[in-house]
Structure 1
Amino acid sequence: MELKHIELSQLVVSPANMRGVAKKPDLTNILPSVRARGILVPLIVRPNGAEDAYEIVAGKRRYHAALTVAEECCGFDPLPCAVMEAGDDAAALEASLIENIARLDPDEVSRCESFTRLVREGRSIEDIGLTFGLTSLQVKRTLAIGNLLPRIRTLYRTHKIDAVTMRHLTLASRAQQREWLALIDCPEKHAPTGSQLKAWLFGGSAVAAKVAMFDVASYTGEIVSDLFGEDSYFADAEVFWTAQMAEVEKQAAFYRETGWSDVVVMERGAYFNSWEHERCPKRKGGKIFVTVSHRGEVAFLEGYITTKEARQRAKGEPITNKPVRPEVSAALGNYIDLHRHAAVRASLLSEPAIALRMMVAHAIVGSHLWRVDVEKQRAASDAIAESVEVSASEAAFDKARRSVLDLLGFDADTPTVVGGYDGDHGVARLYARLAVLSDEAVMRILPVVMGETLGVGSAEVDLLGQITGTDMRTSWNDSAVLPDLIRDKQLLNAVIAEVGGSDVAKANAEATAKVQRSILVDCLTGSNGRAKVDGWLPRWFAFPPSCYTDRGGIGCVERSENIAALVAQPEIAEEPELREAA
């Protein structure tokens, strides 16, 4: 190379410059030193064909810094330059890359674009690696960025996506990249990034090729290489799992042939908990447990038995080994179960007595489809709770509950019928008990089950109260707790008018709430010279209920008004009697 000083007017940026021609460089960290000391390191240039004209292969930032200082100071000294031979674009690009990488690492996208141009100029991956001190894998990783759509490269260059997301997108096809960009553009959808993006690209958990038990070279499915993760992934997880589990079965068969008592292949994703197993050698009947992770990893754990089996052996109980492989596959089992289910529920249409008993059993025991909770009857205070517990209504219900517990053979101390069954076989065993009972006996159970699960403060309470003609005068009698709960003077006065008469209410309208409460208690108990009022029932306890004021806010009144139309419906014709269950 020839070293010479060249005027600014004779220099232009070369298309071979890795920083490009149009993009304005960042001069933040170079401009102060150029102002202070000028250009110390020569630019790399080459003749561009015109007389006394040169193009800058490396040194674009120094050139622009010199232009800036020249504008500020009305001139700048000629720049020191190393002049290359003209014509070799690849050599010029290499010079630009080497010079710039030594000074300021370009972003990955710029480096990729430059490497791609070198490849097009005829440089091999190995040549590029040797020139820049990189491994072939590092060069391939950089070139892989070129597989991205231009917009994705721009998103990365402008820091809209991170490096992990960009690298995962190099595994995507052009169609997948466009689909991902559509998610980015849609405000109502979320575009996966990071590790979620890899799962999205592969339709679930990405399975690495390194976990395959089979020979990957003979694998007929598609494998996608991940240059950044130094691994490859199976494009079709279903094809992989078919091949992987076939290899697991082959290895399991080998273990059985070599004398192991059993090989237990655990469900995919299930953990092998050491506290649930004990060590046991092959000669004493130890087994092989096989764990299979969702990522495709398989582990063969030799010489274990379950703790339950160990206890059985210690007690001398016979061990019944489960078959290693079920007779039917999961899909066939699902087919069988669905058809059996359809046939049985069609048969149930003509057996209402059986259906009734099965419903009662479900309500009492529960199942994965039935969840019935007992009403907790939570009270705001101990006084309220006690007033309900000692009421005649609660005593009558508790008597019926104890009768049902005895009828079903439950423990007499069981607090509720619902949830009270603790025997084996759940619903099936309880149904067997109900099947031998008469319809009359089952009908005695139903009201208790319904009563235990009837929600406090629900519209159902108001509906049933009106339908059954419930009269709380026969069960409610409270002169202690209720008066103490009425704190509003207007409400107290209205209640006194109903209990003691309008004259008493008017005479005490201005009295304190405490005085009015004592008057109400006197009327209910016949104390302090006032006549006892028998059979009085607050309006709220009627079915339907009503108010004492026009302020509203009474839940039972609002619910009753909402269901008034339902109560007015004509009576439904009686159903024919149920046939006895077989």
Structure 2
Amino acid sequence: MKLDFIDIGNLSIAAANMRGKGKDPDVADLMPSIRARGVLVPLLVRPNCSEGHYEIVAGRRRFTAVGAVAREGGAVWPIPCAILDEGDDADALEASMLENLARVQPDEVSQWEAFVALVKAGRSVEEVADSFGFEPRTVKRILALGNLLPRIRTLYRGGEIDAGAVRHLTLASKSQQKAWVALFDDEGAYCPTGHQLKAWLFGGTAIAVKHALFDVAETKAAIVADLFGEDSFFADSDAFWSAQLEAIEARKADYLEAGWSDVVIMERGDWFRSWDYAHAGKRKGGRIYIEVRESGEITFHEGFVTTKEAKRLSGGGGDDEGEALVAKPTRPEVSGPLNAYIDLHRHAAVRADLASHGGVALRAMLAHVIAGADLWRVDVESQRAPKEDIAESVETSSATSSNLPQVSTWTPICHHAGAGRSAKILRLKPIPVSRDPANTL
């Protein structure tokens, strides 16, 4: 085997190449490095029938990438090739398989360390990103992981900590990393992981920069960027709260100057429970409630009073927008005595009509009694009127003063309770019925 540089026009894909069939492979991942440096790993080739021409046994993707660069108009140099001795197709196929299959990818941590070494050797983040086809942010993530303490990298390589832990630890300073490793190695100590680790790094709570009401640049507060998320965080929570509370006081003064009766700054961590408050305009004595979350988020609730105050202030009226603060209680359409009057006359009318169908009602009642239904009970109906004049009105009504012959027969006046409801009492009352044979069982 010898090494030589061969022009792209003198190369073709061998039939023995294990990647030689089908459409051209995807080479998007190779294009950045091929454009910048050309082919670095030699192709395996063997002579073919034409003089000075060779067929590629292994390296089709590199060959395809060089062709793509040439079609773009980029500079193309002769490709380094390892020329195999002439042999049969079995030898060529074996070489192709060994070149493609007998590779062991470096572990993830080794890749991080290699990128760090490359930058230390003088490459900038942008140059590395261009060479490997990465976004600059991706390169920064890799460098942050590669710059973790060796002990942390070893723990991750051995599977003792997960990816979430190492990502959170990229937010930590070297001293914080050392403190965390000490906790991890101490069997009697609690070592935070997951979200607890992130909170531990920021002194209890990770406060995002987006929650600041003040100008972060003017305060010159220390900011830690989360390369694996969208937010940045304050490194010093005490410094944040000092500036944040000053900004809240300034907003309070602005509200008072605008004519609001009061501005209430709630205790940090207390929630504004909307069901305990009602909307009230500025003229109705509405206040501003400022809700302060432990996460640093501030919410301004404008125009509210407590529900007790709303009942006292509204009197059934409305706020500045015309909305009722507390609705007046709805009065019933009829009074209690009038409702009793209507019910008693209605029941009397039903009994009078049922007198002509007593047999049907009696059969229905007995069928349920015989079947042992739990939803029925036989009792004597007792009707009472709340006033004497109502009782007299019912007794003298046409429904109760029927001219039908009087017999000592019990005819059921009842309601049946449906499934899933409480049973209603079946009441029986002696009422006038005809001596029709149909009324007998």
TM-score (norm. length: structure 1): 0.37
Q: Which has the higher helix share?
A: 1
Q: Given the two structures, how large is their TM-score scaled by the length of structure 2?
A: 0.48
Q: Which has the higher strand share?
A: 2
Larger RCO (CA within 8 A; separation ≥ 6): 2
